[in-house]
Amino acid sequence: MVDAGELERARDAESVDAHAAALPALSDAIAHGCGHIGETQFKAARAAGVTDSEIAEVAGNPALNILTNYFDVLADTDNDWPVVTPHTHG
């Protein structure tokens, strides 16, 4: 079970565990770079023990989510997950 503090840190691509922190940080870098990340981010993920399989999953997951969201919008699917208020980054 993940505690509430760790879930909140994950929303900011952070974690107290180096490996766990590297995954959302890599995902965040990929998303904000439209798939392009610098060597620094890639080396940081590798140094934290992120595997090839995890990198593939982190890269593919946003694409699958976008595709799913488009179909949900077209089908006017009801949201069955709890609503999460987005953070404002300023």
Q: pTM of the full predicted structure?
A: 0.69
- Whether 50 shows a pLDDT value over 90: the answer reads yes
CA 10-40-33 angle, 5° bins: 65
Look at residue 79 in the predicted model and tell me its pLDDT.
78
- Whether 14 shows a pLDDT value over 90: the answer reads no
Look at residue 13 in the predicted model and tell me its pLDDT.
76
- Whether 90 shows a pLDDT value over 80: the answer reads no
